[in-house]
């Protein structure tokens, strides 16, 4: 009697867990998770800062196009033996303007522009990867919540089966082995209840980490383990690959390497600057004597110990490497797209099969229980059907979660980001 009361309490607790938590736990939809991850996730915030840095680096590189102007002011006192102390004062402004450097500055700006594009696509890759991880953890928590309910239902079903078998045992229609088996099944169901509760908390903690929470918060998610039916027509993976951020980032890196090679070549050409200065100087303050200068400076690299040649060869090697990485990256992206799409089709097909299996086992279970109650089926045959029903429920839950993960992998393979949700 005490055992029955304990099981009823446990079952009611597990089935009502979501309602109990609802008083203090936060209910999050998928869109809520997306919004909070965009605001708080550390890896995404770090990618945003890197993107800002790349934009500021482009601004810095462009500054070479503009005049470089500086101001100066000074005061000096000096004295030598046998002479009076003398003072000198001066102030002025000077500047220089790049006229020609073999297009090196132009190539450097183009390199920074390509690097900025690469940073933008790298941010998109980070966001896309985070979306996949976030979806996995969202599905994991959703599955854990539903498993809590399922294990509660299983425990209640095992308890009812045990009570039915007890009646048969007491009436002499069942042997002790059947009773012990039913008791063991109930103990297994009790264990799975506590295990489901522990897994529920771990799943919630994992999702909290992806959401960027500094500490664990009581949360639960809302939604269904459902996947939109995908198009069964095989898409053009090569065409899709061209818009995937990972490949676009590699293309931008290749462009940056090509332009860096041109910049290294241009570094061997003369540099021409116009310069001018104007100011005043004198022995009293404020100084009254005007002074100015204007001219053109030409700098010609003659010998630098081989550093310029080595820099050019290094740039050539980097460009060759970038070409190889782009080619390999394109092949990898296309393969990932094909595999992800195929896995999604398999997962959807398996989901359809498991739904039919569950419907069949539920119908068999109803019939078998009715037959057992009137003595038309043995315990051994009945418990096999009961076990099959329980497995079918758990398998369907796993299959639903796997289908959602397969869908998330396909979406990530296409490069969809959190910003596109």
pLDDT in tens, 55-113: 999 898 888 888 888 998 988 888 777 677 888 888 889 888 888 777 888 888 889 99
The confidence band for 22, taking pLDDT boundaries of 50, 70 and 90, is: very low
What's the whole-model pTM score? 0.83
Is pLDDT of 157 > 80? Answer: yes
The confidence band for 24, taking pLDDT boundaries of 50, 70 and 90, is: low
**347 contacts 406 by C-beta, under 8 angstroms:** yes
Query: In terms of Cα–Cα distance, which of 147, 125, 126, 145 is closest to 207?
Result: 145
Cα Rg for the chain, rounded, in angstroms? 37
* pLDDT tens-digit readout, 296-326: 888 888 877 788 888 889 888 999 999 999 9
**CB atoms inside a 10 Å sphere around CB 396:** 20
- What's the length of the chain? 421
* pLDDT tens-digit readout, 380-410: 888 899 999 999 999 999 999 999 999 999 9
**Between 176-210 and 30-40, two packed helices, what is the crossing angle to 10 degrees?**
40
Is pLDDT of 30 > 90? Answer: yes
The average pLDDT across 350-358 equals: 94
Q: For residue 265, what is the domain's CATH number?
A: 1.20.1600.10
Q: Is the dihedral of CA 361, 366, 372, 375 positive or negative?
A: negative
The average pLDDT across 280-287 equals: 83
Q: What is the structure's pLDDT at 140?
A: 96
**218 contacts 27 by C-beta, under 8 angstroms:** no
The confidence band for 288, taking pLDDT boundaries of 50, 70 and 90, is: confident
Domain that holds residue 194: 2-420
* pLDDT tens-digit readout, 232-241: 789 999 999 9
**10 contacts 154 by C-beta, under 8 angstroms:** no
Q: What is the structure's pLDDT at 309?
A: 84
Could you give the C-alpha distances from 148 to 29, 162, 223, in angstroms and in order?
A: 19, 21, 15
Cα(189)–Cα(6) distance, rounded to whole angstroms?
13
Cα(30)–Cα(41) distance, rounded to whole angstroms?
15
Cα(147)–Cα(139) distance, rounded to whole angstroms?
12
The confidence band for 281, taking pLDDT boundaries of 50, 70 and 90, is: confident
Is pLDDT of 23 > 80? Answer: no
3-state SS class at 282:
strand
The average pLDDT across 274-294 equals: 85
Query: In terms of Cα–Cα distance, which of 264, 262, 273 is closest to 304?
Result: 264
What values do phi and psi take at 293, rounded to 5?
A: -155, 155
Is pLDDT of 11 > 60? Answer: no
Q: Which two tokens stand for residue 217?
A: 């918060």
* pLDDT tens-digit readout, 131-156: 999 999 999 999 999 999 999 999 99
Cα(104)–Cα(110) distance, rounded to whole angstroms?
10
Mean pLDDT of the chain: 88
Q: Which two tokens stand for residue 69?
A: 């102007």
Q: What is the structure's pLDDT at 229?
A: 67
Phi-psi region of 8 (alpha: psi -120 to 50; beta: other; left: phi over 0): alpha
Q: What is the structure's pLDDT at 207?
A: 95
Q: What is the structure's pLDDT at 1?
A: 43
Strand ranges for 269-340 from DSSP E: 271-282, 289-299
Strand ranges for 162-232 from DSSP E: 219-221
Q: What percent of the chain has pLDDT over 70?
A: 93
Is pLDDT of 15 > 60? Answer: no
Number of domains in the chain: 1
Q: What is the structure's pLDDT at 19?
A: 41
């Amino acid at each position: 009697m005490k055992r029955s009361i304990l099981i009823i309490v446990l079952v009611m607790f597990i089935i009502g867990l979501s309602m109990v938590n609802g008083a203090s736990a936060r209910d999050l939809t998928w869109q809520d998770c997306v919004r909070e991850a965009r605001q708080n996730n550390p890896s995404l915030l770090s990618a945003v800062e890197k993107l800002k840095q790349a934009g500021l680096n482009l601004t810095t590189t462009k500054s070479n196009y503009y005049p470089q102007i500086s101001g100066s002011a000074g005061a000096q006192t000096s004295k030598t033996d046998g002479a009076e102390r003398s003072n000198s004062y001066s102030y002025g402004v000077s500047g220089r303007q790049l006229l020609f450097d073999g297009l090196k500055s132009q190539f450097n700006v183009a390199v920074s522009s390509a690097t900025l594009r690469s940073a933008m696509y790298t941010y998109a890759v980070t966001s896309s990867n985070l979306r996949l991880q976030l979806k996995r953890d969202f599905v994991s928590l959703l599955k854990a919540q539903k498993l809590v309910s399922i294990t509660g239902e299983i425990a209640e079903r095992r308890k009812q089966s045990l009570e039915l078998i007890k009646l048969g045992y007491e009436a002499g229609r069942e042997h002790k082995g059947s009773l012990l088996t039913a008791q063991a099944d109930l103990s297994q169901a009790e264990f799975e209840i506590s295990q489901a509760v522990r897994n529920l908390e771990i799943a919630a903690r994992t999702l909290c980490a992806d959401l960027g929470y500094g500490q664990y918060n009581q949360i639960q998610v809302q939604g269904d383990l459902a996947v939109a039916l995908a198009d069964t027509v095989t898409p053009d993976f090569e065409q899709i690959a061209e818009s995937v951020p990972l490949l676009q980032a590699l293309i931008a890196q290749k462009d940056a390497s090509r332009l860096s090679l041109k910049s290294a070549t241009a570094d061997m050409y003369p540099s021409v600057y116009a310069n001018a200065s104007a100011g005043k100087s004198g022995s009293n303050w404020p100084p009254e004597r005007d002074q100015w200068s204007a001219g053109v400076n030409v700098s010609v690299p003659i010998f630098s110990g081989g550093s310029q040649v080595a820099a050019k060869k290094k740039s050539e090697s980097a460009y060759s490497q970038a070409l190889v990485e782009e080619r390999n990256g394109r092949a990898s992206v296309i393969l990932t797209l094909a595999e992800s799409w195929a896995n999604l089709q398999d997962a959807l097909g398996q989901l359809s099969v498991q739904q039919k299996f569950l419907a069949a086992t539920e119908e068999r279970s109803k019939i078998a229980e009715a037959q057992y109650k009137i003595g038309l089926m043995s315990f051994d045959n009945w418990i096999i059907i009961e076990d099959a029903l329980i497995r079918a429920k758990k398998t369907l839950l796993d299959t639903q979660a796997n289908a959602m993960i397969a869908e998330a992998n396909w979406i990530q393979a296409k490069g969809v980001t959190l910003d596109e949700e």
